[in-house]
Amino acid sequence: MATKEIAGVQVELDDEGFMTNPEQWNEDIARALAAEEGITELTDKHWEIINFVRKDAKEKGQVPTIRRMNKAGGIATKDLYELFPNGPAKKAAKISGYPKPQGCV
């Protein structure tokens, strides 16, 4: 486990760069992580997904998969791929301050 300064905050990361403590997360960290993932601006639609991931993960105890985001969150799969290209569940989880979803390679 490593520690890295992101948006002025020291955060704990796993070997793949995912935050290990979601309580350290804030919106500035989300913007910085998004930029690292090639997402230059977080739109209202991005925030809708980020907020769903955070709420669902806190309630269910695990990070939602694409299927759960689609079914429970009402977020179209094509929207997920447009907003978080090349691995939407992983990128959405990372930007939301959570570990990689189970089942993601």
- Within the chain, residue ranges assigned H as helices are 27-36, 44-60, 66-71, 77-83, 88-95
Taking CA atoms, 24 is separated from 8, 29, 41, 70, 101, in Å, by 11, 9, 21, 27, 18
Structure tokens at 54: 């955070």
Q: Is residue 68 part of a domain?
A: yes
pLDDT, tens digit (0-9, with 9 covering 90-100), for 51-65: 999 999 999 999 999
Residue-level pLDDT at 41: 96
- Give the separation between CA 102 and CA 48, rounded to whole angstroms: 21
Q: Is residue 100 part of a domain?
A: no
Phi, psi for residue 89 in degrees, rounded to 5: -65, -45
- Is 24 part of the annotated catalytic residue set? no
pLDDT band at 103 (very low <50, low <70, confident <90, very high): low
20, 24, 79, 104: the active-site residue:
104
Q: Is residue 103 part of a domain?
A: no
pLDDT, tens digit (0-9, with 9 covering 90-100), for 54-96: 999 999 999 999 999 999 999 999 999 999 999 999 999 999 9
Domain span at 78 = 2-95
pLDDT, tens digit (0-9, with 9 covering 90-100), for 33-50: 999 999 999 999 999 999
Tally of domains in the chain: 1
Q: pLDDT at residue 105 above 90?
A: no
Q: Is residue 102 part of a domain?
A: no
